[in-house]
C-alpha cells in the first residue's frame, strides 16, 4: 500500500476475536445455569417494565429484535455504534413505554457489565504476543463497542493484565464512528503520534480490519485463529493463524528478519 519497509512504529488491534474470543463466555453462562446473553438482555428489559405495568415478554422480545435490527443497519451501513442506552431508548419508544430514571440506569448498567460478570476468554497467545511487541512498537486498541462500552472493555483488558501493554485506546462509542470509518484510525494515529504509513492494524474481518486501514495507507494483518471466514479473499499484507507468530510477522513487514 505504498508503505516503506523499516518504518513501522505502531500496531493497532481489533479486540473481539483478535484479543478476546467473542461469545466464549456463553458456555460459562450455561454451566452456571444462566441464560444466554441474548436472552438475559431481553429479560432485563421485560422485568423492569413489568414492575411498572403488565407487558408480555414476547412483545418486549420482539421490540428488542427490532431495535437490534435498527442498530445493525446503522452500524454496518453508516459505521455508527449506538450506545446501549440509545438502543434501549429506541426499544422503549417502539413500545410506547418509559422507565423511571433509576430503573433505566439499572438496566443499562446490567447490560454494560454482563461481559465483566462472566468474562469471555482471551485468545490463546495474546499475552506473550503483546509483551513482545510492546517492547518495539507502540500499541493501540481500535475496536467497535457493540454492547460493552469503552470503560467495560478496558476493565476486561485490565482483568487479564493486558491493558498495560497499550499506549492508546480507541473505541467506537467514544469516537462516534465504527470501523472501517476513517475516524477510528485517525484517532488511533493521533493518540499514538504516528502517521498512517507507520501503522499496522491486526484484526479478523476483511471489511473492517483490512480494507479500512488499507484505504488510509496503513498495512494490515488478517488474524484467522478464531474466525477464518475472510481468509480466501483477503487483501491483507499478511495472514496470522497463531498469535505466537504475530511478532515475527510484524517484524517481517517492518523489513526485519
pLDDT digits (tens, 9 = 90+) for 31-75: 999 999 999 999 999 999 999 999 999 999 999 999 999 999 999
Same domain for 136 and 162, yes or no, is yes
What does the pLDDT read at residue 6? 58
Provide the residue range defining the domain that includes 15.
10-22+121-253
Share above pLDDT 70 across residues of the chain, in percent, rounded to a whole number: 97
User: Where does a domain end: 117, 142, 169?
Assistant: 117
The dihedrals phi and psi of 171, each to the nearest 5 degrees, come to -120, 145
Asked if residue 10 lies in contact with residue 138, where contact means CB atoms within 8 angstroms, the answer is yes
Residue ranges of the chain with per-residue pLDDT less than 50: 1-3, 5, 257
Q: Which residue, of 101, 117, 133, is where some domain finishes? A: 117
Q: Are residues 215 and 200 in the same domain?
A: yes
Q: What is the pLDDT at residue 45?
A: 98
Give the β-pairing of 199-203 and 168-171.
Answer: unpaired
Task: Give tens-digit pLDDT for 188-211.
Answer: 999 999 999 999 999 999 999 999
What pLDDT does residue 1 have?
42
The answer to whether residue 40 is domain-embedded is: yes
Q: Provide the H-helix boundaries in the chain.
A: 26-31, 37-50, 57-78, 84-95, 101-117, 126-133, 150-159, 172-175, 182-192, 212-214, 246-253
32 class by beta-carbon count within 10 Å (0-12 exposed, 13-18 middle, 19+ buried)? exposed
- 140 and 234 inside one domain: yes
The count of structural domains within the chain is 2
Q: How far is CA 16 from the centre of its chain?
A: 5
Angle between helices 37-50 and 57-78 (to 10 degrees): 120
Amino acid at each position: 500500500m505504498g508503505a516503506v519497509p523499516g518504518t513501522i512504529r505502531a500496531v493497532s488491534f481489533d479486540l473481539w476475536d483478535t484479543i478476546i474470543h467473542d461469545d466464549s463466555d456463553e458456555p460459562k453462562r450455561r454451566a452456571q445455569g444462566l441464560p444466554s446473553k441474548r436472552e438475559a438482555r431481553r429479560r432485563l428489559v421485560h422485568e423492569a417494565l413489568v414492575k411498572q405495568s403488565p407487558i408480555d415478554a414476547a412483545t418486549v422480545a420482539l421490540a428488542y429484535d427490532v431495535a437490534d435490527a435498527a442498530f445493525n443497519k446503522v452500524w454496518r451501513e453508516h459505521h455508527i455504534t449506538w450506545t446501549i442506552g440509545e438502543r434501549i431508548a429506541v426499544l422503549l419508544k417502539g413500545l410506547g413505554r418509559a422507565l423511571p430514571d433509576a430503573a433505566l440506569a439499572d438496566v443499562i448498567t446490567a447490560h454494560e457489565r454482563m461481559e465483566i460478570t462472566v468474562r469471555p476468554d482471551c485468545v490463546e497467545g495474546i499475552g506473550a504476543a503483546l509483551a513482545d511487541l510492546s517492547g518495539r512498537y507502540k500499541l493501540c486498541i481500535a475496536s467497535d463497542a457493540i454492547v460493552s462500552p469503552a470503560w467495560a472493555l478496558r476493565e476486561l483488558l485490565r482483568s487479564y493484565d493486558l491493558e498495560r501493554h497499550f499506549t492508546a485506546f480507541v473505541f467506537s462509542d467514544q469516537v462516534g464512528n465504527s470501523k472501517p470509518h476513517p475516524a477510528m484510525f485517525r484517532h488511533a494515529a493521533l493518540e499514538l503520534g504516528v502517521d498512517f504509513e507507520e501503522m499496522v492494524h491486526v484484526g479478523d474481518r476483511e471489511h473492517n480490519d483490512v480494507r479500512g486501514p488499507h484505504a488510509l495507507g496503513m498495512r494490515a494483518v488478517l488474524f484467522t485463529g478464531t474466525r477464518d471466514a475472510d481468509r480466501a479473499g483477503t487483501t491483507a499484507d499478511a495472514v496470522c493463524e497463531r498469535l505466537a507468530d504475530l511478532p515475527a510477522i510484524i517484524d517481517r513487514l517492518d523489513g526485519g528478519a
